[in-house]
Amino acid sequence: MSAPAAHNENGDEFNPYLQMRERLDKTAEIIGLDPGIYRILSTPAQELTVTIPVRMDDDSLRVFTGYRVQHNVARGPAKGGIRYAPNVDLDEVRALAAWMTWKCAVVDVPFGGGKGGVICDPKRLSTGELERLTRRYTSSLLDLIGPERDVPAPDMNTDEQVMAWFMDTFSMHRRATQTAAVTGKPVGLGGSRGRREATGLGVALIVKESLEHCQMPQTGCRIAVQGSGNVGGIAAKFLSEMGHKIIALSDVDIALYDEKGLDIQKILDHLAQHHSLKGFKGGEVIAQEDLLTLDCEVLIPAATENQITSMNAPDIRASIIVEGANGPTTAAADQILEEKGIFIVPDILANAGGVTVSYFEWVQDRIGYFWTKEDVFERMEKILVTAFKEVVGTAKAKNISPRLGAYCVGVERVAYCLNIRGVYA
């Protein structure tokens, strides 16, 4: 089941689903994609909207709205996170599901693309309310999900605890513990060592590969990071340990700047205690939008969608952009950045460390044998480096941007599976 993209009052540039379609259209033209396969890939395979009644702590009832979209499952079970946020909408979830399809194919793990979301503000919910919401949402998805059908994971405002509730609810309905039903769980409940750090470390490794590709120094580069969570904060930590200067870091409240380099470990300790950059003694507070246009070698947008747009792209001064977030750069901004000669590593490659280790977790759960963190990181790095070389090689061979190079790699792999499987009728 699928539906046309909804109207977005901010215009097409800020509608993530239409942005995805625009890049798919360009890719289809480059690779000569069969029109029938294009029609399959341009719309979700299945999507579900559910109402989620929740008994609140004051004994009142509230009804939330949730979504789960499976974009494509030709290569394997749908894979994708679940986000809890007030601004979740169906077009966003559709786009995120499609990006997961391409992302899994780019790093060549046997998953398709899915995504889920619930419209809520988790900061305004108690732990009990959050648990009841999660369990009711999970029960609404039972016909769609499972280790061989659709494997959810954490995303924005969801974490190991939410995944534990999700897994437990699914298992109770199946009358057997099913640890492979979700990834991103606590290690003691079948989670993989290294999963929490995976996306951020993956971003750092892609920065390393990008600097080498662009013949830039492997230490001492100035790096600005938008976001300080499990992607931005962890990427900043690893890059700082590699010898780079993290000159800026932000969260939802403020952005900090120090041209000599911020003390990332102290910042992360402050965040762990206060859950905000506010009050940190070190660095100058700057406007969040100014972080994106700082003079630096590497910019890492690791917050949310639509941060680099046609309006601020002309002012970007970084030599390299490594997209830690999903969809941080609009299609309209791409052309401007390419004309400026900026090397962009797209989200479907740059932040694929997370889904790679999610795949490892799923594998470990299914075989009942768990790897060391060193094994996890070594295997992840091998996969990401291979994917990076395939993407830049494709981009060079076709004389296109790395973003379109990544799309070509991903879309061609999915199209191959669709072609070889055929159409069941």
Instruction: For residues 125 and 34, state if they share a domain.
Output: yes
Domain end among 329, 357, 379: 329
* 382 found inside a domain: no
* 337 found inside a domain: no
CATH number for the domain harbouring residue 47:
3.40.50.10860
Instruction: For residues 166 and 248, state if they share a domain.
Output: no
Instruction: For residues 205 and 174, state if they share a domain.
Output: no
* 371 found inside a domain: no
Cβ(126)–Cβ(57) under 8 Å?
A: yes
* 378 found inside a domain: no
Residues 6+ apart with CB under 8 A from 407: 23, 24, 26, 27, 102, 346, 348
Instruction: For residues 232 and 324, state if they share a domain.
Output: yes
Instruction: For residues 257 and 156, state if they share a domain.
Output: no
User: What's the confidence (pLDDT) of residue 12?
Assistant: 83
3-state SS of the chain?
CCCCCCCCCCCHHHCHHHHHHHHHHHHHHHHCCCHHHHHHHCCCCEEEEEEEEEECCCCCEEEEEEEEEEEECCCCCEEEEEEEECCCCHHHHHHHHHHHHHHHHHCCCCCEEEEEEEECCHHHCCHHHHHHHHHHHHHHCCCCCECCCEEEEECCCCCHHHHHHHHHHHHHHHCCCCHHHCCCCCHHHCCCCCHHHHHHHHHHHHHHHHHHHCCCCCCCCEEEEECCCCCHHHHHHHHHHCCCEEEEEECCCCEEECCCCCCHHHHHHHHHHHCCCCCCCCCEEECHHHHCCCCCCEEEECCCCCCECCCCHHHCCCCEEECCCCCCECHHHHHHHHHCCCEEECHHHHCCHHHHHHHHHHHHHHHCCCCCHHHHHHHHHHHHHHHHHHHHHHHHHHCCCHHHHHHHHHHHHHHHHHHHHCCCC
Single out the residue of 86, 84, 75 nearest to residue 131, CA to CA: 84
Mean pLDDT (the chain) is 95
Q: How far is CA 275 from the centre of its chain?
A: 21
Does pLDDT of 420 surpass 90? yes
* 409 found inside a domain: no
Does pLDDT of 1 surpass 80? no
Length of the chain: 425
Confidence category of residue 11, pLDDT binned at 50, 70, 90: low
Domain end among 179, 205, 222: 179
* 188 found inside a domain: no
Instruction: For residues 141 and 225, state if they share a domain.
Output: no
Task: Please write the tens of the pLDDT for every residue from 296-341.
Answer: 999 999 998 999 999 999 999 999 999 999 999 999 999 999 999 9
Cβ(106)–Cβ(387) under 8 Å?
A: yes
User: What's the confidence (pLDDT) of residue 7?
Assistant: 35
> In the numeric block, which tokens belong to residue 411?
């879309």
Instruction: For residues 161 and 59, state if they share a domain.
Output: yes
Side chain identity, residue 414: V
Instruction: For residues 23 and 166, state if they share a domain.
Output: yes
Instruction: For residues 106 and 164, state if they share a domain.
Output: yes
Domain end among 291, 310, 329: 329
What's the domain range around 231? 197-329
Instruction: For residues 143 and 202, state if they share a domain.
Output: no
Dist CA 144 CA 244 (whole Å): 44
The distance in angstroms from the start CA to the end CA of the chain is 16
User: What's the confidence (pLDDT) of residue 424?
Assistant: 87
49 φψ region: left (φ > 0), alpha (ψ -120 to 50), beta (else): beta
Does pLDDT of 3 surpass 50? no
User: What's the confidence (pLDDT) of residue 211?
Assistant: 98
* 399 found inside a domain: no
Rounded mean pLDDT, 171-184: 97
Instruction: For residues 207 and 302, state if they share a domain.
Output: yes
Instruction: For residues 152 and 207, state if they share a domain.
Output: no
User: What's the confidence (pLDDT) of residue 289?
Assistant: 93
Rounded mean pLDDT, 368-388: 98
Task: Please write the tens of the pLDDT for every residue from 87-129.
Answer: 999 999 999 999 999 999 999 999 999 999 999 999 999 999 9
Number of domains within the chain: 2
Rounded mean pLDDT, 172-194: 97
**Residues labelled as active-site residues:** 115
Confidence category of residue 8, pLDDT binned at 50, 70, 90: very low
Task: Please write the tens of the pLDDT for every residue from 228-269.
Answer: 999 999 999 999 999 999 999 999 889 999 999 999 999 999
User: What's the confidence (pLDDT) of residue 9?
Assistant: 43
Which residue(s) pair with 33 in the sheet?
A: none
* 405 found inside a domain: no
Rounded mean pLDDT, 9-32: 88
pTM over 0.85: yes
By DSSP bridging, strand 78-85 and strand 150-154 are parallel
CATH number for the domain harbouring residue 214:
3.40.50.720
